[in-house]
Amino acid sequence: MASNGNLQVLNALDGAKTQWYHFTAIIIAGMGFFTDAYDLFCISLVTKMLGRIYYHKPGSLKPGSLPPDVSAAVNGVALVGTLAGQLFFGWLGDKLGRKKVYGITLMLMCLCSIASGLSFGSNPKMVMATLCFFRFWLGFGIGGDYPLSATIMSEYSNKKTRGGFIAAVFAMQGFGILGGGVFAIILSSVFDSKFKAPAYEVDPIGSTVPEADYVWRIILMVGALPALLTYYWRLKMPETARYTALVAKNANQAAMDMSKVLQMEIESEQHKVDTVVEKPSNSFGLFSKEFLRRHGKALLGTTTTWFLLDIAYYSQNLFQKDIFSAIGWIPAAKKMNAIHEVYRIARAQTLIALCSTVPGYWFTVFLIDRMGRFKIQLLGFSMMTIFMFALAFPYNHWIQPGNNIGFVVMYSLTFFFANFGPNATTFVVPAEIFPARLRSTCHGISAASGKLGAIVGAFGFLYLAQNPDPAKADAGYPAGIGVKNALIVLGVINFLGTLCTFLVPESKGKSLEEMSGENEEEPPKVGEV
């Protein structure tokens, strides 16, 4: 909408100075993302411990490990649930309203997070089955948080700093990954000092103390706490004015809600709402030719870039421990006991999060409204491509003793540019460029495309990175193409992401209605950068 044809309540939001309610919304939405990241990534801290506890083979020279199918299920089932949740709750957020669905997703996340730690069974297969069951529904709740948090933040924000506010919500993911690592370090340190155990090569049975079973359960359950703390405030948030006015068609309620939030008098203008929503340009559906003509190219851009990014991002993140072991940054499993192994994996992942993941997110927060979404995404994908190839081609150099610190630095830089780049922008842009009545749905579709990429990364990398020599591959796995060739594949994927970025429109400095064309007769030029 041009400002002269826009509703007063939407103009007030677009022009509002940064106020306390903006930060309140960031914290309320952000704590959901803290939980999302903690829950999705903490599983990679404990999978090796699960192998030791439940799949120990008497007489084996190496500690027990999860069979390939079990490992793929434990690592990937939450991502499958997330994909389903993004599509379902994204659609529901446009049908019932952002606020109504928001509380449901948070409670589902909290309950299933606790239930994951209570996984039970009379044998290892049953324990893993119940763990996978609860992690699927945990993922389902997490999935809902993506479109709803992004949409709520975009609809509450002013147009000058909207990108930074949405990115700040997503940046809490970095603190979630960091929080998971720090908590695992503290917990494993306490248990390791309290329940002394020899290394596996000294005493295979004694290296895994019975109390180790508590460690992974507590790590999984603690993820519920931050989200529970903000549950009350989620329920107290008013519905966004854009949903109330443009979708529910209740201008009076929108004006009342935002008068309280902005602490100013706002005229309701119900007649103007009736005029806007009755226009043919505001009645087409998701599967119409008109949507395809106006927004098809943009939706293709948001889905393909998020899909390609998540193949690389999740394969790197979920399997950091395997890469660190391969280059010798974490000792051989047989030289550690079960609890100390969790400590070493958590320490390595926390260092990566602290030095590259978290700073990358906040670079985006502070620069996205200055540089624009397109430039940051293009820069991020380009640098990820360069660093991935720089790791892959001289891979044999990096695995030599004394060179592994260089490998870790380069590997960290790929994370930095993922987060100061497409990992943040692919979340921000879909919340800005689609009409209010389809905004949550389209964000959910874009995010689900990303999670499809995450599933490809999580399942595919397990097999791809195996040693080409069948005798050296992990137990139960077929021979793969090796870590070097797997990194080359990830580099190619990042390069494709660079190309697909040219499909995505720039939304810097524009109102949501300008981008979506909700008050225009002519279709907006959403394909322009």
Tens digits of residue pLDDT in 232-264: 888 888 888 888 888 888 888 888 888 888 888
Joined together, the tokens standing for residue 244 give 């109330």
The per-residue pLDDT for 456 is: 87
DSSP 279-303: SGGGT--TTSHHHHHHHHHHHHHHH
Joined together, the tokens standing for residue 507 give 């939304």
- Give whole-number Cα distances, 240 to 46, 99, 119, 177, 247, in Å: 39, 8, 38, 29, 10
Identify whether the C-beta of residue 501 lies closer than 8 Å to the C-beta of residue 419: no
CA distance 390 to 399: 13
Walking along the chain (529 residues) 10 residues at a time, the average pLDDT comes out as 63 84 88 87 87 90 88 87 96 92 90 91 90 94 93 91 94 90 94 92 90 93 86 86 86 86 81 75 83 93 96 73 68 88 89 82 94 96 93 83 77 87 95 94 96 86 77 73 85 95 93 80 50
402: left (phi over 0), alpha (psi -120 to 50) or beta: left
Q: What is the DSSP letter of 335?
A: G
The per-residue pLDDT for 526 is: 52
Please tell me whether residue 58 adopts helix, strand or coil conformation: coil
Joined together, the tokens standing for residue 331 give 């000792």
The per-residue pLDDT for 409 is: 81
CA distance 63 to 383: 38
Largest CA distance in the chain: 80
Which 3-state string (H, E, C) describes 350-378?
HHHHHHHHHHHHHHHHHHHHHHCHHHHHH
Joined together, the tokens standing for residue 171 give 């940046």
CA distance 453 to 88: 18
CA distance 480 to 114: 36
The per-residue pLDDT for 3 is: 44
What contacts 482, CB < 8 A, 6 or more positions away?
Answer: 465, 466, 467, 468
The per-residue pLDDT for 274 is: 76
Q: Which residue has the tokens 């109504």?
A: 100
CA distance 25 to 37: 18
Joined together, the tokens standing for residue 276 give 């806007």
Torsion, Cα 353 357 360 364, to 10 degrees, reads -120
